């Protein structure tokens, strides 16, 4: 046996021992892994039982719960809840048998029930005896099983009997008399469908048991015996178990919630003469139908060609009937018709259904001339109507309908092709989640998700990690979102025992695993949005996985198969898979590979399978009678860019690769994840959103906030990272061609992704802005025709010529406008090119911004940057300074401002315009080296350890620096508790002559320089030394700052969080205008989706309310910010750093495997300005609070804390559980920084010396003398 394949046989041995210790005898249904359904109907496509063909066109476009069918009833649905009786019992044995086995239970038993709405998750219900408590605890876990399932998890999957909350639901319903009559005559049968209940459910009708099921995220369907039916007072009893053996397959990084949380449906199905019980729709596009690939493509682009719709139907037949046809055999008729989007008939076919067998399968083919193909850009849907006709009467006995999208999916030359075109997966993972009712999904919430995804340029969604409600797939098909559907399987909890593949190698569990995979495919295979199937998530790999893979490929070869849980060498992983097992996955689909690792994996896989670099035609994938994975496989990340809190840094590194012609196999991925799973109940935290551990000690303290990792908040408010993703995934992009010298022409290259709308649906425009204010200086529009698209048809074959992948367009009017503006003195210009919707869409209004790109430059040729000397030399205000010093307090009055400085403490005391002090008295300018930790800052080995007592040990592990969290390291060197001590103050006048007199007055100084030296200490150890020079000029105060880290501590930690200055401004200065990246929050490694420009906002609107408060609201590359108040008072702060400090260039990871990745520098790569923020909260306040409501109350009277950072670490975003911010965005190399700030006030309000003195006396500033400061011999200060 190969030495590397030891894990699979090892796990088989473990399972043999496990099965001996865990016998099946004396087990209940909900404890037995071989019993997952009892009396249940096989999964199938949803059936509608329409009244007429005319109804089909309306009903396929709306939720099935709105049906007008005479043969379908919904007892309860998310959009139309129903009242039912309910009680939660401690265990299954506690449920009174009288409730289940009799129509009329004793009154004392019924009186114990309460009325609740259905559907529900019972963990959202209050305890009737104590309304301040919940009846059961919601539990969140990510990595491990809840305590109730932790029973030597590496050996036992025995579900507890006693500690197993069990919900009893009692619902009364009526049936139409015709239903009962037809069912009892045998013409029809009544089915009940539980669309979602879990983790297991037993069903009883009118005192009789009818069945059991336990896949909580797919339907459980039963036939109700006809002898139990009556028209009035039917009783449905449902017993729902919180824990079953199926729970070990549902450890899916989500809240463990229980109940009946999806619709309950009744159907009265035809039995005679024939019943259509299932049907499968497949389509062939013109380039597949007839094997005329190139020729038919050309025809299609000219509006020619023919597509095909195949319908494979399964019937149950009534063999007791004698319906002679022309041949003397018994038969009924079957008709299939295709209608276009305007409900016009396209084509139809008919066939006979012989009734001489109990079952019959039929296949019909319908040709569709000149078909409109389905894609995310143009999600065109036909309507398929199926009719079963009774030959005796000629009447329809059954009418079904569904919407059909004609499209093809295949893998060719290492790429997924849809309609013969390579796609780019702009995807996101999505949990079904409503913060106020858990897994109960309304159409309103689903539409909100779909519309937001479309607005943010997502084109794909992975159903993580279970099949969704049917309406979700209908909406994705209607509005244009690719879907990768996923089986309801995850066994992540076994990782803690290093046995994640345990159940995949246990023969006893094969049926349960295969059943879930079958359910996913059988129920959802007719939705055109679904382009791929997933066998589950984080469940390891083994013999059972391969059985599932073989079944999916044999059943549905029209889609690709993916699975992350396997390993590259085919062995069973013990912890996590790498998405590379070709037996189980047609695509390479790892999670959280870095961009560099992604490129390396593709090269390794191609080399391992002997794949040449040029084109590989491996469409024929049949080997030994089985459909297999292609040798050259696409690379699509099933999860990446962990969006936890303020995250999603360096996302552009992935997208540079996804868009690059150098890496055609890299086709995108699915961001983790869409929505934060914040949970709200009034019993806890006044209804504020909570996470694991917030709802009691057993509610998930170990994994806490790992359910709070969404691109949007729980109530669907997009986080700023959404706008970064939107820009990177925009379907049409623009690139400015290089120009030199004066502007004579502007050319842009236009490229498109596969989900780009037709150009006829887009309006293009250009705008020119300056950097003095936010006013637009020039504007123009231009139009493009559909044939101008780099891919002229949505269905065109991909070109191998790079010139065909972009279109170049000259913007002559824009060039003339820029030239004129440049000649008129506008030194810096910003050209913005945009594409907006020219038509209204269901998900966005006309004029909605789809794509934009800005080009910022002087003369549009060199990068824009504020020069360091600009702050120091440019003086547009003339005048002198009036200076008075008494007892170490220096008062300065300039032409437009007044200021006081305490030379005893080295602090700026006041800064005035008129009688308004613009800074909080005595707060001064301070130095800042710590930030409120983000979730990524908190991710490290110590945070992952399951036992609290082990966490201190993590820091003592050798070589632990690379795995301990950033925040742990920062606190270890005391950055959060630095104490500043002024050691030296010097003052100088004109010509930098030191002033030695303690008390002096001078009315005609041109400048005044005050130099402050400070030590910043932790435990009496100096961490930083700073030298701050305040140079008072006529126009304002120029502050020159020099920072030097001391000792080797910077080298001993991975990065500094920030190096910068802080001001505390008066509360009134709430209005804010700045020149920098905006308009939304940006950081050094997350700013590609922002444009450099002038933006106006307010300090209060700068705050981003991440669920866990943290560093937020920052703006990257800020050159100046101006604060103003209600009475016109204003303060402008400008920033610059020396020209000698070069901007470190960014290096995109993975673009060149031979390139050396940059190490950390003193400033992050691409850092071109200050990292700026303004907030009414302090850093300690943000760091202390664990929820937004725990922050102190602030209002318009709260001071404003302003940070200008000359270096600020990136956010990171590849993962959140380890310190993985990329090296080039870290801070700290030589440990030296120099930068300048300039403080300028409103020049319209003069200040007198007398008013300045009066204001100082009013605020009672301290005049204490020395305070331990060491003076130089040349200083005028003397010691007491």
Find the Cα–Cα–Cα–Cα dihedral 402, 403, 408, 414, rounded to 10°.
Answer: -90
DSSP characters over 847-905 = T-EEEEEEEEEETTTEE----HHHHHH-------EEEEEETTEEEEE-SS-EEEEETTT
Q: DSSP class of residue 124?
A: G
- Residue 1079 DSSP one-character state: S
Is residue 203 predicted with pLDDT exceeding 90?
yes
Phi-psi sector, 1155: left (phi>0), alpha (psi -120 to 50), beta: beta
- Which stretch of DSSP H or E encloses residue 732? strand 732-736
The answer to whether residue 36 scores a pLDDT higher than 80 is yes
Bridge pairing between strands 166-173 and 82-89:
antiparallel
Helix (H, G, I), strand (E, B) or coil at 362: strand
720, 685 Cβ separation under 8 angstroms: no
Could you tell me if 212 and 38 are in contact, meaning their C-beta atoms sit under 8 angstroms apart?
Answer: yes
* Three-state DSSP class for residue 524: helix
| Cα 17 to Cα 1051: distance, rounded to the nearest angstrom | 51
Q: Give the residue, 869 or 396, on which the prediction is more confident.
A: 396
CA 994 to CA 1273: how far, in whole Å? Answer: 11
Say whether pLDDT at 303 is over 60: no
Which DSSP helix (H) or strand (E) runs through 339?
A: strand 331-339
578 three-class SS: coil
What six digits make up the tokens of 999?
């008390």
Q: How confident is the model at residue 868 (pLDDT cuts 50, 70, 90)?
A: low
Q: In the beta sheet, which residues pair with residue 270?
A: 188
Residue 502 backbone phi and psi in degrees, to 5: -55, -55
Under 8 Å between Cβ of 1037 and 919: no
pLDDT in the model for residue 1269: 37
What values do phi and psi take at 1184, rounded to 5? -75, -40
Q: What backbone phi and psi angles, to 5 degrees, belong to 1042?
A: -125, 125
Q: What share of the chain is helix, strand, coil (3-state, %, to 5)?
A: 20, 35, 45
Tokens of 571: 């062995």
Strands 482-486 and 530-534: parallel
Percent with pLDDT over 70 in the chain: 88
> Do the Cβ atoms of 1095 and 966 come closer than 8 Å?
no
Range of lowest pLDDT (386-400, 441-455, 1175-1189): 386-400
Q: Dihedral (C-alpha) 243, 244, 249, 254: value to the nearest 10 degrees?
A: -20
CB 550 within 8 A of CB 533: no
Q: What are phi and psi of 856, to 5 degrees?
A: -105, 125
Nearest Cα to Cα of residue 1023 among 1054, 1056, 1000 = 1056
Mention every residue, 6+ apart, whose C-beta is less than 8 A from residue 993.
Answer: none
Residues 267-287 have a mean pLDDT of 91
CB atoms within 10 A of CB 1274: 10
Locate 885 and state its tokens. 């010093």
**Regarding beta strands 197-198 and 776-782, do their DSSP bridges make them parallel or antiparallel, or are they unpaired?**
unpaired
Answer whether 107's CB lies under 8 Å from 113's CB: no
Question: Could you report the per-residue pLDDT of 463-496, keeping only the tens digit for each?
Answer: 999 999 999 999 999 999 999 999 999 999 898 8
Query: What pLDDT is recorded for position 1030?
Result: 96
Q: Is the peptide bond before 976 cis (omega within 30 degrees of 0)?
A: no
β-partners of residue 192 are 222, 266
Categorize the per-residue pLDDT at 1279 as very low, low, confident or very high, splitting at 50, 70 and 90: very low
Is the pLDDT at 662 greater than 80? The verdict is yes
- Cis amide bond preceding 146, omega within 30: no
Q: How confident is the model at residue 231 (pLDDT cuts 50, 70, 90)?
A: very high
pLDDT in tens, 1066-1113: 999 999 999 999 999 999 999 999 999 999 999 999 999 999 999 999
DSSP label of 1224: G
* pLDDT band at residue 1262 under the 50/70/90 scheme: very low
With beta carbons less than 8 A apart as the criterion, state whether 851 and 834 touch. Answer: yes
Give, in degrees to the nearest 5, the angle at Cα 483 between 556 and 366. 50
CA angle 155, 157, 161 (to 5 degrees): 135
Question: What are the strands of the beta sheet with 396-404, ordered from one edge?
Answer: 345-354, 331-339, 382-389, 396-404
Phi-psi bin for 277: left (phi > 0), alpha (psi -120 to 50), beta? alpha
Mean pLDDT over 245-259 rounds to 95
Long-range contacts of residues 838-844, Cβ cutoff 8 Å, at least 24 apart:
838/760, 838/761, 838/762, 838/763, 839/761, 841/454, 842/451, 842/479, 843/450, 843/451, 843/454, 843/455, 843/479, 844/451, 844/454, 844/455
Q: 1237 and 1039 in contact (C-beta within 8 Å)?
A: yes
Q: How confident is the model at residue 59 (pLDDT cuts 50, 70, 90)?
A: very high
Mean pLDDT of 1226-1255: 74
3-state DSSP assignment of residue 1256 = helix
Segment among 64-68, 71-75, 558-562, 859-863 with least mean pLDDT: 859-863
pLDDT in tens, 1161-1215: 999 999 999 999 999 999 999 999 999 999 999 999 999 999 999 999 999 999 9
What does the alpha-carbon distance between residue 875 and residue 873 come to, in Å, rounded to a whole number?
A: 6
**Residues with Cβ within 8 Å of residue 453, at least 6 apart in sequence:** 428, 461, 481, 674
Residue 328 CB partners (closer than 8 Å, separation 6+): none
Residues 142-150 have a mean pLDDT of 85
Hey, is 331 helix, strand or coil? Answer: strand
CA within 13 Å, CB half, 258: 28
Closest CA to 1072 of 1124, 1109, 1029: 1124
Section 608-632 average pLDDT: 79
Q: 688 and 1188 in contact (C-beta within 8 Å)?
A: yes
pLDDT band at 300, cuts 50/70/90? low
Q: What is the pLDDT of residue 621?
A: 80
Alpha helices, DSSP H only, in 712-759?
Answer: 721-728
Q: Where are the beta strands (DSSP E) in 425-568?
A: 425-430, 460-463, 482-486, 490-491, 530-534, 560-562
Distance CA 1114, CA 1118 (A): 10
Q: Strand pairing partners for 1017?
A: 979, 1022
Kindly report, residue by residue over 205-217, the tens digit of the pLDDT: 999 999 999 999 9
Angle at 761 between CA 755 and CA 762, to 5 degrees: 85
Q: How many angstroms separate the CA atoms of 660 and 671, rounded? A: 19
Q: What is the β-pairing status of strands 460-463 and 425-430? A: parallel
pLDDT score for 1267: 39
């Amino acid at each position: 046996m190969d030495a590397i394949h030891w894990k699979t046989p090892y796990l088989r041995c473990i399972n043999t021992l496990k099965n001996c210790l865990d016998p099946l005898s004396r087990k209940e249904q909900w404890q037995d892994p071989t019993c997952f359904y009892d009396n249940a109907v096989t999964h199938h496509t949803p059936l509608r039982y329409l009244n007429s063909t005319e109804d089909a066109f309306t009903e396929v476009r709306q939720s099935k719960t709105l049906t007008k069918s005479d043969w379908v009833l919904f007892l309860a649905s998310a959009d139309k809840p129903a009242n039912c009786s309910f009680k939660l019992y401690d265990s299954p044995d506690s449920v009174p048998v009288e409730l289940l086995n009799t129509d009329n239970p004793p009154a004392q038993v019924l009186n114990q029930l309460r009325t609740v709405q259905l559907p529900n998750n019972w963990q959202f219900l209050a305890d009737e005896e104590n309304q301040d408590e919940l009846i059961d605890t919601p539990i969140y876990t990510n990595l491990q099983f809840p305590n109730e399932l932790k029973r030597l998890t590496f050996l036992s999957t025995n579900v507890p009997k006693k500690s197993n909350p069990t919900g009893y639901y009692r619902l009364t319903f009526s049936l139409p008399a015709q239903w009962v009559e037809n069912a009892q005559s045998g013409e029809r049968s009544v089915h009940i469908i539980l669309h979602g209940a879990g983790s297991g459910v037993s069903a009883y009708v009118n005192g009789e048991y009818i069945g059991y099921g336990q896949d909580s995220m797919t339907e459980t369907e039963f036939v109700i015996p006809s002898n139990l039916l009556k028209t009035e007072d039917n009783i449905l009893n449902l017993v729902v178990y919180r824990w079953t053996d199926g729970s070990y397959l549902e450890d899916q990084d989500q809240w463990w919630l229980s109940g009946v949380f999806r619709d309950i449906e009744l159907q009265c199905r035809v039995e005679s003469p024939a019943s259509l019980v299932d049907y499968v729709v497949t389509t062939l596009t013109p380039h597949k139908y007839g094997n005329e690939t190139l020729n038919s493509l050309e025809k299609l682009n000219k509006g020619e060609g023919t597509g095909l719709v195949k319908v494979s139907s399964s019937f149950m037949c009534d063999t007791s009937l004698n319906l002679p046809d022309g041949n003397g055999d018994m038969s009924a008729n079957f008709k299939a018709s295709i209608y276009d989007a305007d409900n016009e008939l396209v084509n139809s076919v008919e066939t006979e259904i012989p009734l001489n067998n109990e079952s019959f399968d039929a296949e019909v083919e319908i040709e569709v001339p000149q078909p409109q193909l389905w894609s995310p850009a143009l999600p065109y849907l036909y309507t398929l109507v199926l009719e079963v006709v009774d030959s005796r009467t000629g009447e329809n006995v059954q009418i079904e309908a569904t919407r059909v999208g004609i499209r093809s999916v295949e893998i060719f030359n290492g790429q997924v092709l849809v309609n013969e075109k390579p796609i780019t997966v702009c995807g996101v993972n999505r949990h079904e989640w409503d913060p106020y009712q858990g897994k109960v999904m309304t159409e309103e919430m689903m539409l909100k998700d779909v519309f937001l995804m479309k607005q943010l340029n997502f084109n794909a969604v992975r159903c993580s990690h279970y099949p969704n409600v049917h309406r979700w797939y209908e909406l994705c098909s209607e509005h244009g979102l690719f879907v990768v559907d996923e089986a309801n399987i995850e066994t992540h909890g076994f990782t803690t025992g290093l046995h994640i593949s345990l159940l995949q190698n246990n023969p006893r569990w094969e049926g349960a695993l295969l059943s879930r995979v079958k359910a996913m495919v059988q129920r959802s295979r007719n939705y055109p949005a679904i382009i791929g199937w997933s066998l589950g998530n984080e469940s390891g790999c083994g013999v059972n996985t391969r059985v599932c893979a073989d079944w999916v490929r044999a059943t549905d070869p029209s889609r690709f198969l993916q699975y992350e849980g396997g390993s590259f060498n085919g062995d069973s992983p013990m912890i996590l898979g790498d998405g590379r097992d070709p037996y189980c996955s047609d695509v390479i689909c790892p999670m959280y590979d870095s961009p560099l690792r992604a490129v390396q994996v593709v090269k390794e896989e191609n080399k391992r399978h002997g794949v040449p670099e040029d084109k590989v035609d491996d469409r024929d994938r049949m080997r030994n009678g089985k459909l297999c994975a292609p040798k050259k496989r696409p690379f699509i990340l099933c999860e990446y860019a962990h969006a936890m809190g303020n995250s999603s840094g360096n996302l552009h590194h992935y997208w540079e690769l996804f868009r690059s012609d150098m890496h055609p196999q890299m086709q995108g991925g699915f961001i983790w994840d869409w929505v934060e799973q914040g949970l709200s109940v009034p019993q806890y935290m006044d209804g504020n959103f909570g996470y694991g551990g917030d709802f009691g000690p057993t509610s998930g303290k170990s994994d806490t906030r790992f359910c709070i990792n969404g691109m949007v908040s729980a109530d669907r408010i997009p986080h700023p990272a959404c706008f970064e993703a939107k820009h990177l995934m925009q379907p049409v992009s623009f690139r400015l061609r290089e120009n030199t010298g004066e502007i004579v022409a502007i050319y842009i290259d236009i490229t498109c992704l596969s989900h780009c709308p037709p150009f006829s649906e887009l309006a293009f425009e250009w705008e020119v802005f300056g950097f003095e204010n936010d006013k637009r200086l020039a504007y123009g529009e231009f139009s493009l025709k559909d044939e101008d698209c780099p891919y002229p048809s949505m269905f065109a074959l991909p070109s191998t010529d790079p010139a065909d992948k972009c279109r170049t367009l000259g913007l002559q009017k824009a060039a003339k406008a820029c030239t004129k503006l440049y000649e008129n003195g506008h030194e810096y210009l910003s050209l913005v090119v945009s594409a907006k919707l020219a038509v209204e869409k269901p998900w966005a209004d006309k004029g909605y911004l789809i794509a934009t790109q800005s080009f910022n430059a002087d003369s549009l040729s060199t990068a824009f940057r504020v020069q360091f000397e600009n702050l120091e030399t440019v003086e547009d205000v003339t005048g002198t300074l009036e200076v008075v010093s008494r007892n170490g307090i220096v008062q300065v009055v300039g032409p437009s401002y007044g200021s006081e400085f305490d030379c005893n403490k080295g602090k700026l005391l006041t800064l005035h315009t008129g009688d308004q002090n613009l800074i909080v008295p005595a707060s001064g300018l301070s130095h800042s080296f710590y930030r409120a930790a983000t979730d990524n800052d908190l991710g490290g080995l110590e945070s992952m350890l399951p036992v609290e007592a082990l966490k201190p040990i993590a820091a003592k592990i050798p070589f632990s620096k690379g795995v301990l969290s950033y925040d742990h390291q920062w606190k270890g060197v005391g950055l959060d508790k630095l104490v500043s001590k002024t050691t030296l103050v010097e003052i100088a006048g004109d010509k930098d002559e030191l002033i030695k007199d303690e008390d002096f007055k001078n009315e005609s100084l041109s400048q005044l320089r005050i130099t402050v030296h400070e030590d910043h200490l932790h435990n009496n150890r100096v961490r930083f030394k700073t030298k701050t020079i305040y140079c008072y000029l006529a126009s304002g105060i120029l502050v020159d700052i020099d920072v030097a880290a001391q000792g080797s501590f910077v080298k001993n930690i991975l990065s500094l969080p920030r190096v910068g200055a802080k001001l505390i401004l008066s509360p009134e200065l709430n209005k804010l205008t700045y020149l920098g990246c905006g308009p939304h929050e940006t950081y050094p490694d997350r700013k590609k989706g922002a444009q450099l420009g002038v933006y106006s906002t307010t300090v209060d609107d700068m705050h981003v309310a991440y669920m866990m408060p943290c560093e937020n609201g920052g703006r990257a590359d800020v050159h100046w910010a101006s604060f103003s108040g209600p009475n016109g008072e204003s303060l402008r702060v400008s920033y610059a750093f020396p020209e000698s400090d070069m901007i470190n260039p960014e290096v995109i990871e993975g673009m060149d495997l031979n390139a050396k990745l940059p190490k950390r520098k003193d400033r992050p790569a691409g850092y071109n300005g200050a990292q700026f923020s303004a907030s009414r909260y302090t850093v300690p306040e943000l760091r202390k609070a664990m929820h937004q409501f725990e922050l102190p109350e602030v209002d318009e009277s709260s001071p404003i804390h302003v940070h200008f950072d000359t270096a600020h670490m990136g956010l990171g975003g590849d993962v959140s559980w380890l310190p993985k911010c990329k090296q080039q965005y870290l801070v700290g190399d030589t440990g030296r920084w120099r930068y300048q700030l300039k403080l300028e006030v409103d020049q319209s309000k003069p200040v007198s010396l007398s008013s300045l003195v009066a204001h100082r006396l009013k605020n009672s500033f301290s005049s204490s003398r020395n305070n331990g400061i060491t003076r130089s011999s040349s200083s005028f200060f003397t010691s007491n």
